[in-house]
Amino acid sequence: MKKQEILGLSDPAQCCGCGACAVACPVNAITMVAKDLGAYYPEVNMDRCVSCGKCQKVCVFQSEEEHSDAPLRVYAAANADRQQLKGSASGGVFAALAKSVIAEGGIVYGCSMEYTHGVLTPMHIGIDTEAALTKLQGSKYVQSKAFHCFPEVKTHLQSGRVVFFSGTPCQVAALKCYLRETNTERLFAADLVCHGTPGTVLFEDYIARLKKRQNGDITAFSFRDKSSGWGLLAGYQVQDKNGREKQTLLRPDCSSYYSLFLSSETYRESCYSCPWANTARVGDVTLGDYWGIENEHPEYLTENGGKLSAAAGISVLLVNSEQGKTLLKRFGSGLVLEASNLESASRQNTQLRKPSSHTALREELVRCYETEGYPGVEKLFRKKQGLRYCVRRIKNLFLNWKNKRRYE
């Protein structure tokens, strides 16, 4: 059998790009290479491969994994620390748990938007100081490179350290697969409710285009800017040639990348048949936005005398395993928790019920990206938007003008 087939690569829907195969390979025969819409897939160097089968053993699509049948507990939750809550995408549950893990000497892994040599790249890093926590806060709506952390996590667990790992469900499943023969008593894993992830290189190309249009370096990009409250507003920072920095707010419908992300057109192929987009979760806890809380639990909201603020952000928190219960008991003191149920939590959160789906536009996008690169994607996006795009741009200019006046 050809090695590419061994890895299931004849079907891109059977590869989530986790890269566990690449780090498990004892002879470095596997490299992750960007393909369809800038998403990474493993490529095997046939001359190096020794047919040991380790890549198959760690592949989440080729092995049985453990997951819960249904959550043991469901909460509407938020971080009690206002500052941390503000820097988080939704209710800041991640930061509250991570802070306590660090305080007890543990190490936390999550996705950071790293700016190196003029390029912004989302990648997983490990941190063990509270000061570094802000790097991991906030949702980066793009596939994060996480596999290089797997051996590090293993080493920490072997040395008896507590590890709190957070990521998309496929990354958590991949890590658990990779650690199958390791003692994971001290591993706590949080998976995210996940809409799907566009390829890393597609995002890098989008940023390169933005950089050109703004005539400066894009040194930071936040998909969930809370300056106007809990929602989907984005923001980025431009640094000009003299080192001056400017913050710009971005409505999602004004950004080709963000808009196509929200309409589910640009994810990697496997996201459309994601085996984890349901209530049988792989993480010890699951974190998401509690969309629709105003209908499901109006009594929990501050305006009705409750403890949770919809303007500041509210999370849905699923506790999926005994280890998840321990995580909350040991490290959850910084959380405000209110009981909820699965039906309410998933009513407006489709990805707790089924994977995202795309339209015929995706095929057009793949073709344009292949032939013209990101400018082709942008051109197609604007063509489809027509006049609406101009109106939205004007609204975005107004938004930034209003925001600037607020701070003058």
Ligand X SMILES: Cc1cc2nc3c(=O)[nH]c(=O)nc-3n(C[C@H](O)[C@H](O)[C@H](O)COP(=O)(O)OP(=O)(O)OC[C@H]3O[C@@H](n4cnc5c(N)ncnc54)[C@H](O)[C@@H]3O)c2cc1C
Assess 93 for contact with ligand X (CB under 6 A).
Answer: yes
- Tell me how far, at minimum, the Cβ of 235 lies from ligand X, in Å: 14
Comparison of 44 and 202: residue with beta carbon closer to ligand X: 202
Is residue 95 within 8 A of residue 79, CB to CB? The reply is yes
Regarding 281 and contact with ligand X (CB under 6 A), the answer is no
Structure-derived torsion over alpha carbons of residues 269, 164, 112, 146, reported in degrees to the nearest 10: -40
Assigned token pair, 408: 């003058």
Query: Going along 128-251, which residue ranges are E strands?
Result: 163-167, 187-192, 217-222, 234-239, 245-250
Residue placing its CB nearer to ligand X in the complex, 86 or 393: 86
Tokens in use for 323?
């280890």
At closest approach, how far in Å is the CB of 288 from ligand X? 3
The counts of H helices and E strands in the chain are: 16, 13
**Is residue 38 close enough to count as binding ligand X by CB under 6 A?**
no
Task: Give the three-state DSSP class for 70.
Answer: coil
Stretch that binds ligand X, among 20-28, 174-182, 193-201, 369-377 (CB under 6 A): 193-201
Q: Which of 123, 193, 328, 336 binds ligand X (CB under 6 A)?
A: 193
Examine residue 133 and tell whether it contacts ligand X (CB under 6 A). Answer: no
Given 192, 238, 282, 345, the residue binding ligand X (CB under 6 A): 192
For 286-345, the DSSP string reads EEEE-TTHHHH-GGGBGGGT-SB-TTT--EEEEE-SHHHHHHHHHH-TTEEEEE--HHHH
DSSP lists the bridge partners of residue 151 as none
Is 59 in a helix, a strand, or coil? coil
* Interface pick for ligand X out of 136, 174, 327, 328 (rule CB under 6 A): 136
Q: Does 15 bind ligand X (CB under 6 A)?
A: no
Residue from 351, 362, 368, 380 binding ligand X (CB under 6 A): 351
133-141, 203-211, 252-260, 384-392 -> range binding ligand X (CB under 6 A): 133-141
CB of 391 vs ligand X, minimal distance in Å: 27
Choosing from 68, 100, 121, 166, the residue that interacts with ligand X (CB under 6 A) is 166
Element (H, E) at 113: strand 107-116
168 in contact with ligand X (CB under 6 A): yes
Helix-strand-coil split of the chain, %, nearest 5:
40, 20, 40
According to CB under 6 A, which one of 8, 19, 42, 91 is a site residue for ligand X? 91
Tokens, residue 390: 């101009």
Site string for ligand X, 46-75 (x = CB under 6 A): ------------------------------
Instruction: Provide the 10 A C-beta neighbour count for residue 7.
Output: 21
Residue 167 as a binder of ligand X (CB under 6 A): the answer is yes
Residues that bind ligand X (CB under 6 A): 88-95, 110-111, 122, 136-142, 144, 166-168, 171, 192-195, 197, 287-289, 315, 349, 351
